[in-house]
Structure 1
């Protein structure tokens, strides 16, 4: 039988991997295939190379399968650090962010990561870094708003003096 080749193989591999990541079912099937290949005698390194995964990831799949059966390959709660804010604190912080920072004694007019970090430390006893606080904005459905730059409020005469294009009807340098 003649060997089949897929046009643009690298692009297709990327597209297939993205498709696998789209749903829980396809990720589960992907892990099943990995364990199946190991059970057929392939090494975790070989399976990892075939499936675009690290060998240690394949080892973890096999270990979970041996320990928990098919359920070990399904999506579940992922271990990790517990949330810094409990459910009630989360809702209170969401409500706080709908108010201005000035209502909490800050000088700034808009929330940002460092201001939220300070607010959490003072009012909730929770210490989070600036970057983590920036992520909280997105997780809570807020988007970044920046104040208008100073240029928008500058002196029109000084702006005209440094402008590259003259105002309509005005000659340059005369």
Structure 2
């Protein structure tokens, strides 16, 4: 179950303002992802709504920072090449909708940090949360 209303009112207003003012379409799309996620949409529903793949949505929802618009830019354009392998992304897509309790965790909801930690244990790839 996706986390609903994880953004406070100020964060939500800042994202709505950025959505209107941001010139780069790809960054606007990622801002929209956070707003839809905050409304309780699943990553799969967001992908369908935006018209892209779950592989496009999932990494931004997990590793993007709604309080830092710069984190929604594609750093690969600046030479920061992709660290997540195909295996990592496939595992992320598989477990993001699973209940963490089914994997032996005491918590019932994934956070970005928890998901990144779990994926690091499984793949050995450390990405910031």
The TM-score normalised by the length of structure 1 is 0.29
Which one has more relative contact order, counting CA pairs under 8 Å at least 6 apart? 2
Mark the structure with the bigger radius of gyration: 1
The TM-score normalised by the length of structure 2 is 0.38
